[in-house]
Structure 1
Amino acid sequence: MIKVGAITIGQSPRTDVTQDILPLLGDQVELLQAGGLDGLTREEIEAFQPGPDDYVLISRLRDGSSAVFAERYILPRLQNCIDQLEQQGVELILFLCTGDFPAVFHSKVPLIFPCKVLNGLVPALAGRSRIAVVTPTPQQVAQSENKWREYVSQVTVIPASPYGSPEELDRAARQAAEMDVDLVVMDCIGYSAEMKAKFHEISGKPVILSRTLATRVLMELLS
């Protein structure tokens, strides 16, 4: 049995994510989880609210709700997650977040960041370098636009939370249907395979889902 670590920036376990990735991992992989906000109350998490210059993150909490917070507050807590999982004997660690993290972590095992996987693959698949990106909150639109402009020539960002009402994503899919883009990137680990399928059905566009893409890359390293 191979032990693989998974770190959410929110609270573990991320049962909403594992429903899609466990079938891809198969019977020979044991998934051990840790979370950057584990052990914190809602009041403590609210103290991590982002300011105007902060890199904004959003994630799911254990009770099923979501929280928005600044990246800088949780970087040391994410390092603690890495240390904890290494002590449990994992061979790889997958981050359950598409955020763009600074190179501050140290690890004895490979760290897989979905952001880096997307950064490499999306330009290769977007033939005319035109994409639509779905991101959870309006607070992330500008930082998403700035990020993706480094990799493609044209990007349109649509805010629609994976933690909100299904109608929000349906509206975003209808917007994408009117766009002349090569593909849609669901740029948050919170979007599910079911959400992807419905988005594709409504928009008629090819859709990339970060959680399953990153898991398939992880399995390539293990096989």
Structure 2
Amino acid sequence: MSASLLGTLTIGQAPRADITPILEEHLPAGVECIHMGVLDGLDRDTIARRFPVLPGEAVLTTRLLDGSAVILGKSAVREAVQAKLDQLEQLGCRTIALLCTGEFHGLGCKRAWLMEPDLLVPPVVTALTVERQAGILVPLPEQMASEGAKWRALARPPVYAAASPYGSSAAQLTAAALELKAQRADVIVMDCMGYTEHHRRIVREATGLPVILSNALLARLLAALL
């Protein structure tokens, strides 16, 4: 098992052309990557059958190889994520990064070092904001409630707005950013792996506020570990 072999797991289809360049920008030279996705090799009909959105269930959204987005029922995704983590370990990955900021419970690896954004990003944001107001940008309005528990350590309850990285226009993203600013946010957290530096620049220019890009933060932490 090579210490320089990194596994990445998206809940969509791999490789993620929007995320991997951000990782590669920060990773040390010589790190090899195996990219895997929960939806690899599946068509839309199969995805709908295997990951249905059930009434009252939390949802996740992700990207397919063609650039389009799908919405998944979270409970079915969790079991598939664990199965893929097991596969990446069997392939020799010593470190595995989950490319999803959704909150999962009970994931684990036998030997690999698992990097879960939902366990990493909130504590960093909590330490950075202290008493300041955090604004959380999520892809779907439903996620304001379903993914809110991971921010419970913040000194002040966060404010929310929604704009998907997979289909929202620049105008829609700007409107969501300004909504957070109107709610007196001091810093904006882009709480989805699908947001890119392009999205961050739009939000920054619209608001003038500091903007934390979750995947860039994960990449920096991975670089420090590797």
Category of TM-score, reference length = shorter chain: over 0.9
TM-score by length of 1: 0.92
CA distance in 1, matches of 2:199, 2:179: 15
**Contact (CA 8 Å) 1:127, 1:182: kept in 2 or not?**
no
1:194 paired with 2:207, answer no
RMSD (Å) for aligned C-alpha atoms: 1.7
Note if contact 1:128-1:182 (Cα within 8 Å) is conserved in structure 2.
no
* Deviation sequence 1:171-202 (CA, Å, 0-9, x none): 11222332322211100000001211221111
C-alpha contact (below 8 Å) 2:122/2:150 kept by paired residues: no
- Residue 25 of structure 1 deviates from its aligned partner by 1.0
Question: How much has 1:49 moved relative to structure 2?
Answer: 2.7
| CA–CA separation in structure 1 for the residues paired with 2:147 and 2:104 | 13
Letter in 2 for 1:3: L
Q: Secondary structure at the match of 1:75?
A: helix
Q: Distance in 2 between matches of 1:176 and 1:80?
A: 37
Distance 1:77 1:99 in 2: 14
1: CA distance, partners of 2:193 / 2:73: 17
**Secondary structure in structure 2 of the residue aligned to 1:99:** coil
Q: Structure 2 CA distance, aligned partners of 1:104 and 1:6?
A: 14
Distance 2:81 2:147 in 1: 22
Secondary structure (helix, strand or coil) at the match of 1:45 reads helix
Query: TM-score when scaled to structure 2?
Result: 0.91
Partner of 2:59: 56
Task: Please give the alpha-carbon distance, in whole angstroms, between the structure 1 residues aligned to 2:13 and 2:121.
Answer: 23
Aligned residues: 222
Q: Which residue of 1 aligns with 2:14?
A: 12
What is the rounded CA distance, in whole Å, between the counterparts of 2:74 and 2:94 in structure 1?
26
SS of the residue corresponding to residue 189 of structure 1 reads coil
The code of the aligned residue for 1:191 comes to: Y
- For the pair 1:27 / 2:26, whether they are aligned, the reply is no
For residues 98 and 130 of structure 1, the distance between their equivalents in structure 2, rounded to whole angstroms, comes to 20
- The residue that corresponds to 2:223 in the other structure is 219
Alignment pair present for 1:125 and 2:161: no
Do the aligned residues in 2 keep the contact of 1:6 with 1:93 (CA within 8 Å)? yes
Alpha-carbon distance in structure 1 between the residues aligned to 2:118 and 2:130: 20
Compare 19-28 and 92-101 and name the one that shifted more: 19-28
Q: Can you give the 5+ residue segments of structure 2 that lack an aligned partner in the other structure?
A: none
Cα distance in 2 for partners of 1:144, 1:73 equals: 16
Displacement of 1:150 in angstroms is 4.3
Offset from partner CA, 1:143-170 (integer Å, 9 cap, x none): 2344424434221110100001222211
Name 2:46's counterpart in structure 1: 44
- What fraction of aligned residue pairs are identical, expressed as a percent? 36
- Which of 169, 172, 190 matches 1:168? 172
User: Which residue, 102, 109, 114 being the options, matches 2:112?
Assistant: 109
Counterpart for residue 75 of structure 1: 78
Structure 1 unmatched ranges of 5 or more = none
- Identify the range of structure 1 (145-154 vs 163-172) with the bigger mean alpha-carbon deviation: 145-154
Q: 2-side partners of 1:146 and 1:91: how far apart? A: 29
Q: CA deviation at 1:129?
A: 4.2
